[in-house]
Structure 1
């Protein structure tokens, strides 16, 4: 009887290995191509014939087109509707674009310039928040309007509807970019 039981064990082992092989092949064939060695276990290392494509790095976001009605040359473009700013070089291309949090008082559409007294490294904003890299360009309804970043990095919180504020808030990184770009005399174009 020992010869018969070793034959049965051998047969069961062969069947078990065949089943494991078939299941492994099915798993490899049905695995998505985007699994990495970390996310998908050691699948790619065990099956060198099955080459998974590495995940593609996302392409950097392309700046949206500079609004056509914003003029030419070096300028800051601020879109009231899109709540977006473009820092446009002399060649007419956006060097940087980003979203902002608008002030409660909006400037009128049109072209302005950063005045001689339009820049401050740090001050207290009209909402009482410490701000930096302030670039002012106009006033409306008795409120000075300009771009700035909160020193603590926080976005402005909605206040009472009667509180007039003129700070168009940027992130600290965007505020620094604006500060470096918008020197005295730089054109600021506000579009709808």
Structure 2
């Protein structure tokens, strides 16, 4: 079982008492060694330096709740969970893209025509370029995915589109704010990370991102906002979200939290895991930058935040994860755009 109570795949399960002891020791070291004693204390106290934090945030002890599905980190492969949401941004060189987060059987339009052209150039498609995603195109897609050692499902999402060079320029969608001064805090007194900002300095919220007290996550911009009941942007920061098509847009609710969890494959610690979405293959949520179980080394640096690197969840700088842990108890609204 994972730290969240989730079953691990057989290959990831400890097979001896000594292995269990090593993992238990590693968990303790991971919490203290990487997040630090102060951050661990923030699970309960939030370490807020202003009285405003007490009125805005309902603090609670660390909650560990069982989750039926494993938490999504690791190399999952592309899957079919993403709707065809419009994305009209061009490649950096001005070339065509699939103009959506994914295209599949039944899709049509210029984005599909772009896919047909790309597969024709690669020698996998020799039918009409008519912008219709039919069985012939699906077979060509699967042949290409198999040839390129991609997840074979006949759906063209981010990974397949990147290989075909028909994915939009992601960096053009990212708003990077200057690092805050040393010791800077948000409006509730929580320390800002190098990718965080607050108040009027924060980028504007996406359109149609709800109202009231909530957390907003924009997949295209890899950015999160914590919003007060009156609409104040308490804090905004970059994350590293999913490489795949498994983050579902819409309004969700936090349903489970673990101060430390384990990835589906048992190879990563996921500190301060906040789950808000169940997919067909696992849980998605916010957590601090994951650590390798083998040696507690980090999977990425803070400088890489804003780049899609995870298998499903949203990775955060430790300061932002500590803030989220205090701000988002079970029941918090999460809006994904």
Whole-Å separation in 2 of the counterparts to 1:125 and 1:171: 18
Distance 2:252 2:320 in 1: 20
1:175, CA displacement in angstroms?
0.6
Partner of 2:237: helix, strand, or coil? strand
| Partner in structure 1 of residue 336 of structure 2 | 190
Partner of 1:94: 233
2:311 counterpart residue number: 165
Specify the SS of the correspondent of 1:72. Answer: coil
Instruction: Name which structure has the greater RCO, CA cutoff 8 Å, separation 6+.
Output: 2
Mapped to 1, the partners of 2:281 and 2:299 lie a distance apart of 25
- State the secondary structure of the residue aligned to 1:176: helix
Deviation string 1:82-117 (CA, Å, 9 cap, x unpaired) is 0010011111121111111112343211000011xx
Question: Residue 34 of structure 1 corresponds to which residue in structure 2?
Answer: none
Question: Is residue 122 of structure 1 aligned with residue 268 of structure 2?
Answer: no
**In 2, are the aligned partners of 1:101 and 1:155 still within 8 Å (CA)?**
no
TM-score (norm 2): 0.34
Match of 1:109 among 249, 254, 258: 249
1:77 aligns to 2:220 (yes or no):
no
Q: 1:90 to 1:65 in 2, by over 3 A?
A: same
Partner in structure 1 of residue 206 of structure 2 = 67
Contact 1:66 1:93 in 2 (8 A): no
Residues 53-72 of structure 1 show CA distances to partners (whole Å, capped at 9, x for unaligned) of xxxxx998510112231110
Distance in structure 2 (CA, Å) of the matches to 1:108 and 1:122:
24
Identify unmatched segments of 5+ residues in structure 1: 1-57, 157-163
> Is the 1:126–1:165 contact (alpha carbons within 8 Å) kept by the matching residues of 2?
no
- The structure that has the greater radius of gyration is 1
SS in 2 for 1:104: coil
TM-score by length of 1: 0.59
Q: 1:73/1:67 Cα in 2 relative to 1: closer, same or farther (>3 Å)?
A: same
How far apart are the structure 2 equivalents of 1:147 and 1:103?
11
Q: CA RMSD of the aligned region, Å?
A: 2.3
Separation in structure 1 between the aligned mates of residue 275 and residue 312 of structure 2, nearest angstrom: 9
SS at match of 1:68: coil
For structure 2, the residue ranges without an aligned partner over 5 or more in a row are: 1-179, 185-196, 292-296, 302-309
d(CA) in 1 for partners of 2:210, 2:320: 22
